[in-house]
Chains A and B, each alone.
Chain A
Amino acid sequence: MAGLMVGFGHYTHAIVRGIPASLAKEALRSSQSEVDVVNARREHEAYVEVLGTRLGLEVVELPADESLPDCVFVEDAAVVCGDTALITRPGAESRRRETEAMKGALKDLNLNIVEMTDENATLDGGDVLFTGREFFVGLSKRTNQRGAEILADAFKDYAVSTVPVLEGLHLKSFCSMGGPGLIVIGSSEPAQKALKIMQQMSDHRYDKLTVPDDLAANCIYMNLPNKGHVLLHPTAEEFPESVKVFEKLKDHMLIPVSNMEKVKVDGALTCCSVLINKKGNI
């Protein structure tokens, strides 16, 4: 009987993907940095472990594809909301084929698949912030207006507002949801500006949790049975100041997850999984 749009943060499944060796050299990145694939893989294993073992999600792990150095960042390949999955058209040409495996996995989960076939459209899942009540789509280097339109068409129930992303790779490079109605936002000027825009565009009111580091603002929020509010956030090792902020969230189960290697190729916590709620689907 539960209507739509309830149960924000409820997830049953997660789709992840392995890290190809090519990540070290060929993955796209905004800064020059050396990535230790071994460390990255260790990190990723820990991440998957948290999702599967600790949180009890059913994890679908796609094999890495050496020809797709960025394939671990599955978030960009699909946007799943409810029982609908939009297969994106990633803004980076080299990443377009990442969607194939993703599509197969989502189909296997019996989701309604919507594909972005328009050749003028680009959209990275990292630019899509779903708040539970609406979508914000960052217009960035990777995502354009047309992509956002298609997303809006795919999820007709929700308002889809566009937000210019002036700095950073994706919209979610400096923000994410920290709970129902709670936006975690970086404190940089572009981040704050984006937040302002989001607030203006929205009919809903959001609380914000401002963290000193933009990158630390990318967290994964879940609301799980028997666990309540769960927040996966970067470790104190990386962002000590920001973690202090997270620790103020008394109602949340806080799970620090290390992301030191992947961040070097602009990978954040949300980037590495697509979360799905199968039970909520009708």
Chain B
Amino acid sequence: MTTESGTDSEAKQPQENKETEKAKAAAEPTSPQNQPEQLPAAAGHSTPARTEQERQEEDLVSHRSSTSRLSRSPLRGVKKVKIMQCKVTLLDGSDFTLNVEKRAKGQVLFDKICDHLNLLERDYFGITCRDVENQKNWLDPSKELKKQIRTGPWNFAFNVKFYPPDPSQLTEDITRYYLCLQLRDDVVSGRLPCSFATHTVLGSYTVQSELGDYDPEELGSDYISELRFAPNQTKELEEKVMELHKTYKGMTPAEAEMHFLENAKKLSMYGVDLHHAKDSEGVEIMLGVCSSGLLIYRDRLRINRFAWPKILKISYKRNNFYIKIRPGEFEQFESTIGFKLPNHRAAKRLWKVCVEHHTFFRLVSPDAPPKKFLSLGSKFRYSGRTQAQTRRASSQIIRPAPLFERSSSKRYNMSRSLDGAPIMENHETLMKDSAADGAAKVIAKGDIITTVTTEKKAEEEKAEQEDAQMDAVEMPEPMATTPLRQDTKTDSEQTDFAFDGEMTATESDADEDSEMRTQDTSPPEEMVKHQTNISELKRSFLETGDSAPGLTEWEKRLSSSPARSPRADEAPMIVPLEPQDTQDEKPAGEGTKEEVEPKVTEAAGYLVKYVVDSIATDLATSSGPHGISLSTTMDDDVFMDGTLREVDEKTPDSQEEVSERAEMKVSPGAVRQEVSQAISDKKGTLIILKEAEDKVDTEGKETSAADEEEAPVVPGEAEAGENEMLSKEKEYIKEDMSVVLEAKTTVVKTQSPTMEIKTDDMTQIKGSGSPKKAMASWISEGVKTDASEVIGVSTKQVKEMKTFDAMQQKAEIFTFVKEVQTEQSKSSLTQITVSESSSTSLSVSTLGWVSSSEKASAEPEERAVVATETEAAPVESTGPTSLDAVEVGTKEMPVVHTETKTITYESAEVDTNGDVDPGVLLSAQTITSETSSTTTTTHITKTVKGGISETRIEKRIVITGDTDIDHDQALAQAIKEAKEQHPDMSVTKVVVHKETEITPEDGED
């Protein structure tokens, strides 16, 4: 157990283990009667045994899971591990006993349970535990269990946390089955009220799914009374249920469950989490949290409803719970509504549930702002995936529909048991196949493994040192923290890689890539065949390997998947800020990547150069506090973009980095590093941007694009990197992922040296092993950069559009960043970047980096930096190694063509001062409004920096339609409106992003 828990991710579990598991699982069904109780017992036994095996194997193999979402516990090296026994009540009412390390995080337990349940679409579920007041609380997966369980035995329950509004969109029957179990309990317990008629309908489907066809001989006449359908079950109800049941002959359990869900989902209280409260006048009410917002009930009556878009802010204080409501059409002011909860804990619980539901359901669209909206006032955040993400991820599931047992069924058990033997075989074969796949991976794993261990240590040490030295490390304030949070896990893992690679960024990348690659590269068909293995599946699912988009079995099986081509969720992991975007892009086939890559390369080249320049400039110009020149500060575009300014301060680091880079340049081998650094820098900026702004689209996309690219590129990359600049550049370009990783890595490295140098205030970068920190440091650096030097990086990304069929979609995004700076002179720097890419694939991601460095002496400068045009490039261009992948990608390329165009106008305001002080974030809010064709997202951030308050408003308008839009007019209109609305502010940046779908004829094939 120890080991396992340490490793966390099930994904890591070696396939062999899986096999054993499967065998056991298979065995279970075989048993003549499967009583619910039996399951747990079996599980209990299997778990420990499994664990040990896993342990050993893990070391050898487990690494692929690197991508997995699980947070890696630092415990590895620790010898003493306290093991706790957990009892988890599953949805079928049975108890599952398992052991976890005492210090294990919630995620560990959760993943183990899901493994046990053979559940892949797990984001809808969660673990609850009862507190002292016997109230159910959701475990936070990112926190240690022991901190969440104050007293008593470690008893939990596995429950549905987010009820999918449309269960038919779930990918797997097994997921629906568990949802059904939850709903049955909701119904029987009365939490989900329904009419008599609905009880009969739901009951009849339950019977059908559990008992199969009506068969008087086998079932007898009273077969139904042992099942529960309603809180007050009457004979009449049972009779009606039977009546209906008779009519379902031939309906499979899965179909019956689908019918069950189709009815249940329409119930008004479906998925509504009720909380007792009182309104401001002391009237007893209920607050219901659901996918669409907050519902207010008085008795059974709905007396108000606040959809998420209507809510600006959610907060709690003591036992009060507040929501701030966006002013209505005719209202001028926001209003805050307060509710009294029974106690503080209840208020907090409600608040958390709101935060989580909002994040999960509302932040579906890639453009959605990162969690800021709810982030103030507590560190708590929903760290899982959003519904959109999980949908995309689950569309990647390619295992054959798993056979599972409906717990209390009799007839089905029988038949199941018969099936059992074959099942076993299947698994085995699958296993084998997967193993074959794994072969390539194994190597990578080996590397990884070693690396990991080392890394952690290194990280820890660094962390310690840094901590000792710098307290400030905490980083860039809320901004950084918030966005990063989500992906932390992933990051950490990546970080790990980076650390591993620490020595060499490339290496680490390579590892990553290899992993990625395995997933990505392996032909989809194979995937389908092989991935029966849970671990494999998980990997692919959780980690989001991008398997060929179109081909997944899932798609074949289900229409439910969102229109988009399936993409793995890796992006989220990689780029914490905007996971969604990444995903979106991912769908783009590898081919896309390749296409993009060449152009990207160019862009990269630019970047590099620019960076260098900037560096040089810095060096020359700057005479920083620490001997590093800080004085003349150029504002980075990034700056402009980011709200982050407040956060940043530390110039020195950046400079140092720069200097390092410069040095690096000299040696050929170094070049690569340079590039990587540069990239990393940029990325850092990018990250900043993302965080700062909700622009996410562009940036996030980039990142994602990078991810995609990286997979193929990586292997080659390592080699290439050693070779030549060009190759290096390409590599970088190609491998966005890798780049990111590298960036992190570099950051870490850089920082550590930097740290020493800087000593003081300026840069506090924690080199600490956590990716977040690294990110943060980057961010901070970027910020610093602002003050001291100007490295402008504007990143544009092409959004991938989902295209249904041959629809044309055009999206325009305008981002306005207005800053009011009371202070100094503003110099305007204008960057115009146009990147166009057209590629064939559902989603197209294009990366273009433009970096401009300037000395900003308060003079306005205009620059048209780079215009990059990308056109579909031959697939071949891709990096050396990933041929297989390429092929696959090509084959599967969807027919949809998308053209993307991004135009950015920026006027930068340069702070002459060079803000050294990090601002204090006062507030951040996001407002979203939607109409049928447009979505407007306004993000407002208020910060205080050096006594000056700054308000940034970012507005994003997405226009979707199938007609041509006059950009200029739309832009002019948007700017005009923005100016009118905020006469006292200035427009600093405008980004126009256009995506057009091209008619299929141009198929690249």
User: A interface vs B, CB < 8 Å?
Assistant: 1, 3-5, 82-84, 112, 133-134, 137, 145, 148-149, 152-153, 155-162, 200-203, 281-282
Contact = CB atoms under 8 A, between A and B. Distances in A.
A149 B266 contact: no
B195 A5 contact: no
Q: What does DSSP make chain B's interface, helix, strand, loop or mixed?
A: mixed
Interface of B: 193-198, 200-201, 240, 243-244, 247-248, 259, 262-263, 266-268, 290, 292, 298-305, 307
A200 B201 contact: no
Nearest to A150: B300
A161 B201 CA distance: 25
12 contacts: A3-B266, A4-B198, A4-B266, A5-B263, A145-B298, A153-B300, A156-B194, A157-B198, A157-B266, A160-B302, A203-B290, A282-B200
Given A148-B301, A201-B304, A203-B292, A158 B197 contact: no
B736 to A, nearest CB: 38
A4 B263 contact: yes
B255 to A, nearest CB: 10
Nearest to A200: B305
A161 B305 contact: yes
When A and B form their complex, which 5 residue pairs have the shortest distance between CB atoms, in order from nearest?
Answer: A159-B268, A152-B300, A156-B193, A161-B302, A3-B263
Contact of B247 (A1, A156, A161): A1
Given A200-B305, A282-B244, 9 more contacts: A83-B197, A84-B196, A156-B198, A157-B195, A158-B268, A162-B303, A203-B290, A203-B292, A282-B243
A162 B299 CA distance: 12
A82 B195 contact: yes
Contacts of B300: 149, 152-153, 156, 160
A128 to B, nearest CB: 13
Nearest to B932: A205
Contact of A149 (B201, B267, B299): B299
B194 A157 contact: yes
A32 B193 CA distance: 46
B299 A152 contact: yes
A156 B240 contact: no
A156 B301 CA distance: 10
A82 B199 CA distance: 13
Given A159-B302, A160-B301, A3 B268 contact: no
B301 A3 contact: no
Contacts of A149: 299-301
Contacts of A202: 305
A27 to B, nearest CB: 31
A38 B876 CA distance: 88
B195 A156 contact: yes
A281 B244 CA distance: 12
Contact of A282 (B201, B259, B292): B201
B301 A145 contact: yes
Contacts of B307: 200
Contacts of B303: 161-162
A155 B259 contact: no
Contacts of A160: 268, 300-302
Nearest to A204: B292
Nearest to B240: A282
Nearest to A159: B268
Contacts of B198: 4, 156-157
Contacts of A82: 195, 197
Contacts of B302: 159-162, 201
Q: Which of B195, B263, B266 is most buried by chain A, counting CB atoms within 10 A of its CB?
A: B195
A1 B244 CA distance: 8
A3 B193 contact: no
A202 B263 CA distance: 19
Contacts of B243: 282
Nearest to A82: B197
Contacts of A148: 301
Contacts of B299: 149, 152
B538 to A, nearest CB: 33
Contact of A3 (B195, B240, B259, B305): B259
Nearest to A3: B263
Contacts of A4: 195, 197-198, 201, 263, 266
Contacts of A137: 301
B305 to A, nearest CB: 5
A112 B268 CA distance: 21
A202 B200 CA distance: 26
A152 B301 contact: yes
Contacts of A157: 193-195, 197-198, 266-268
Nearest to A152: B300
Contacts of A203: 290, 292, 305
Nearest to A83: B197
A82 B198 CA distance: 10
Contacts of A282: 197, 200-201, 240, 243-244
Given A4-B263, A149-B300, A162-B301, A155 B240 contact: no
A112 B196 contact: yes
A137 B268 CA distance: 15
Contacts of A156: 193-195, 198, 300
Contacts of B200: 282
Contacts of A162: 301-303
A1 B259 contact: yes
A166 to B, nearest CB: 16
B671 to A, nearest CB: 57
A3 B201 contact: yes
A28 B304 CA distance: 33
Nearest to A134: B268
A155 B194 CA distance: 8
B268 A5 contact: no
B402 to A, nearest CB: 26
Contacts of A161: 301-303, 305
A134 B262 CA distance: 16
- Between A4, A82, A137, A152, the greatest number of chain B beta carbons within 10 A of the residue's beta carbon is seen for A4
A209 to B, nearest CB: 17
Given A149-B299, A157-B266, A201 B194 contact: no
Nearest to A158: B268
A85 to B, nearest CB: 12
B292 A84 contact: no
A274 B300 CA distance: 25
B177 to A, nearest CB: 18
A62 to B, nearest CB: 26
Contacts of A1: 247-248, 259
A93 to B, nearest CB: 24
Residue among B196, B259, B300, B303 facing the most chain A CB atoms (10 A cut-off):
B300
B262 A3 contact: yes
Which of B244, B259, B267, B301 has the most CB atoms of chain A within a 10 A radius of its CB?
A: B301
B374 to A, nearest CB: 21
Nearest to B304: A201
B240 to A, nearest CB: 7
Nearest to B299: A149
A171 B301 CA distance: 16
A5 B301 contact: no
B268 A281 contact: no
Contacts of A281: 197
A3 B196 CA distance: 13
A95 to B, nearest CB: 23
Contacts of B259: 1, 3
Contacts of B262: 3
Which of A137, A152, A155, A203 neighbours the largest number of chain B CB atoms within 10 Å of its CB? A203
A84 B201 contact: no
A282 B259 CA distance: 16
Contacts of B201: 3-4, 282
B195 A155 contact: yes
Contacts of A201: 302, 304-305
A200 B266 CA distance: 18
A282 B197 CA distance: 7
B642 to A, nearest CB: 35
Of B268, B292, B299, B307, the most chain A CB neighbours within 10 A belong to: B268
